[in-house]
Amino acid sequence: MKEILFISGKGGTGKTSLTSSFIHLAESCIACDYDVDASNLPILMKPSKVFTCDFSAGFQARIDKDSCVSCGICAEVCHFDAVNPEYQIMPLACEGCGFCAKLCPVQAISMVSRPSGHWFQGIFDGERIMFYADLRPGEENSGKLVAQVKTTARKTASLVKQPLIIADGPPGIGCAVISSMVEVDLVILVTEPSYSGFHDLQRVYRLMSLRGIEGLLIINKHDLNPVICREIENWAAQEGIPLAGKVPFSQLIAQSIAGGEIPAAHPEIREMLFPIWEKITNHL
């Protein structure tokens, strides 16, 4: 089994539009979206949900009114002011540390799983499988949810004897990105010719290098700034990062994304991207 991960270091580089296109070009694969904070790949792939599973990132205190003697110890020791005057827990304030439960003299406080989001299995293009997730706003442990999606996808791939997983990774270099890199065979770095894009590309490449993962580079919208594009190409050559290809700015791609369509579904875009996809598969 092989896994290809598309990452960019920042949002807005066109990573998801390219990922959806290469999933479309692949003869067969399991698709994944590891951007659990803002999952966009399902907008383009349009999967039908066949399975939904709750995700819990931690715990939350709960006070049993019948057992509580209103001694006030829980409110006194809570550093997050999560206990209101009626001795009930305020969910948004509770950090789930469990200190109140340890000190409650009548054991009226229990720690229960806190719902943090969901992960999904879907079907697109008839029988093709996709995994993605949705982390509730403000919740933590995005890396743990990514790990859940990845583990399930890899188990499913092994079960159905699917040799390829193509994943759309999250932006940045945080926990979710680190989790998305686990057991990946090839990383596709997607960047744009801007100084912010170049800077974040270098950051995520250092993270990738620490994990010893091979990578290829795609420069998207390369013709918008030829000067920075050349700087990126020179840097990639110095670092030994092969260039998979350069994609020009395209009104057709922009219109496809605005319409919620996969860019490579258009013959003109397919013809432009297919040589890049061939380089990726040959390298893999």
The pLDDT tens digits of the residues spanning 30-43 come to 999 999 988 999 99
Return the half-sphere exposure (C-beta side, CA atoms, 13 A cut-off) of residue 49: 11
What span, in angstroms and rounded, lies between the C-alpha atoms of 146 and 151? 8
pLDDT score of 10: 87
Neighbours of 279 (CB within 10 A): 16
Is residue 9 very low, low, confident or very high in pLDDT (cuts 50, 70, 90)?
confident
The dotted CATH code for 2-55+117-283 is 3.40.50.300
Is residue 116 very low, low, confident or very high in pLDDT (cuts 50, 70, 90)?
confident
Burial level of 264, CB count in 10 A (0-12/13-18/19+)? buried
Q: What is the residue-wise DSSP string for 192-248? A: -SSHHHHHHHHHHHHHHHHTT-EEEEEEETGGG-HHHHHHHHHHHHHHT--EEEEE-
Say whether domain 65-107 belongs to CATH 3.30.70.20: yes
Average pLDDT, the chain: 93
Tens digit of each residue's pLDDT (9 = 90 or more) over 132-168: 999 988 777 788 999 999 999 999 999 999 999 999 9
Is residue 227 very low, low, confident or very high in pLDDT (cuts 50, 70, 90)?
very high
Q: Where are the domains of the chain?
A: 2-55+117-283, 65-107
DSSP three-state, residue 77: helix
DSSP three-state, residue 87: coil
* Nearest CA among 44, 12, 21 for reference residue 259: 44
Give 260 or 114, the one with higher predicted confidence.
260
Neighbours of 257 (CB within 10 A): 18
pLDDT score of 150: 96
Arithmetic mean of pLDDT, 7-15: 90
pLDDT score of 139: 75
Is residue 212 over pLDDT 80? yes
Is residue 27 very low, low, confident or very high in pLDDT (cuts 50, 70, 90)?
confident
Neighbours of 118 (CB within 10 A): 17
Give the rounded percent of residues in the chain with a pLDDT score beyond 70: 100
Tens digit of each residue's pLDDT (9 = 90 or more) over 239-257: 999 999 999 999 999 999 9
Give the rounded percent of residues in the chain with a pLDDT score beyond 90: 83
pLDDT score of 114: 82
pLDDT score of 120: 96
DSSP three-state, residue 273: helix
Instruction: List own/partner pairs for 84-89 with CB under 8 A and 24 or more apart.
Output: 87/63, 88/63, 89/60, 89/61, 89/62, 89/63
Q: 47: which 2 tokens?
A: 């999967």
